Amino acid sequence: MVESGALGVVGAGVMGSEIAFLGAAAGDHVTLVDTDPGALAAGLDRARAIAQRRLAKGRLTEDEARGIEGRIRGAESVSALSDCAAVIEAVSERMEVKLAVFEAFGEQLGADTLVASNTSGLSITDLAQAAGRPQSVVGLHFFNPASVMPLVEVIRGAQTTDAVVDRAVELAKRYGKTPVRVRECPGFLVNRVLVRAMVEAYREAESAGVDPTAADAAVAHGGPAPMGPFALGNLVGLDTLLSISTQLEGAYGPRFSPGRLLADMVESGNLGAKSGGGFDVDPDAPPTKAAAPVSQRYYGAAIAEAAACAREQIADRRDVDLALQLGAGWETGPLAWAASQGIDETDTAEV
């Protein structure tokens, strides 16, 4: 079944406003819900601004832009979503906030509504339980900015049915995205592989006394990643990265330990692009021999984690590679790259 018609998006922040644009651009009537009227107004403005930017660039006609803007309306309660074919939750990443929203979904959405969460890492299975309809809840993990990034991870919770996963895959395709099917695990797929590689590189740089600029140059020139782990950390937000790696360390053990370099930056209030501080990096620096071990450790860890995801059937091998290409900008996925370099994926960093 291909969803069409009415989409509900709950949470009008960075992600919700972009997802609302995507739905309207695909022809759906979108209701964007936020309990904070100021956030709702700002979210509606952001969604409409995307249409205006595309109009200015000649990528939309005036009629198309007007049509998109006209198909997005705002509301302050989930009760406005009872007629929606699909609802995507994108509220703040706090379990207690999301659980309350999913309880409201259970009470107020139609029985056939596809219910999705854009969570970056909270349990789809737990959210599904809160909705009281665990079989019809799925993760739809868009990447930021959602109007541009091509990847969507479709996360299957413990009780999500095949039919619901298929509907979510079709929805993502209709919104112009490339979906990959992911079985739920902490970190899902892209963040699990990427965060593992990043924190391994941070710990190696720290113990070998390699500075962030040299470490980034080694990684950017040493394999398929488009940038080094320190520059990427600055972009993601160092507090967000610390929080994700600490959660993943709890789930998987010390291979996800964030290490001192990251913890010290966060303690000193240097959070990357969002705070204006962060790791000091120069993207134009040439690679040096002394920093090569950081690159080996980074790619070794990524390959090992990617291989573990394939082995655990979190996603199939082709999708593991595709997800890193589309979600993280890698030229080649880690498993295909390991094969092309003659690297034995069972012989890389410990999983």
Q: Tokens 């890389």 sit at which residue? A: 348
Coil, helix or strand for 183? Answer: strand
Q: Minimum distance from CB of 172 to ligand NAD (Å)? A: 14
Q: Which residues contact 193 (CB under 8 A, 6 or more apart)?
A: 302, 305, 306, 309, 320, 324, 334
User: Angle CA(216)–CA(219)–CA(224) in degrees, nearest 5?
Assistant: 135
Nearer to ligand NAD, 141 or 297 (CB): 141
Render 121-171 in DSSP notation, one character per residue: SS-HHHHHHHHT-GGGEEEEEE-SSTTT--EEEEEE-TT--HHHHHHHHHH
Number of H helices, E strands in the chain: 14, 8
Which residues make up the interface to ligand NAD (CB under 6 A)?
Answer: 10-16, 33-36, 39, 90-93, 97, 100-101, 118-120, 142-144
Q: Minimum distance from CB of 42 to ligand NAD (Å)? A: 8
Q: Minimum distance from CB of 4 to ligand NAD (Å)? A: 24
Upper half-sphere CA count for residue 219 (Cβ side, 13 Å) = 34
CA distance 41 to 36: 9
Q: Minimum distance from CB of 12 to ligand NAD (Å)? A: 5
CA distance 152 to 177: 6
Q: Give the residue nearest to ligand NAD (CB).
A: 13
Return the active site residues.
141
Q: Minimum distance from CB of 79 to ligand NAD (Å)? A: 12
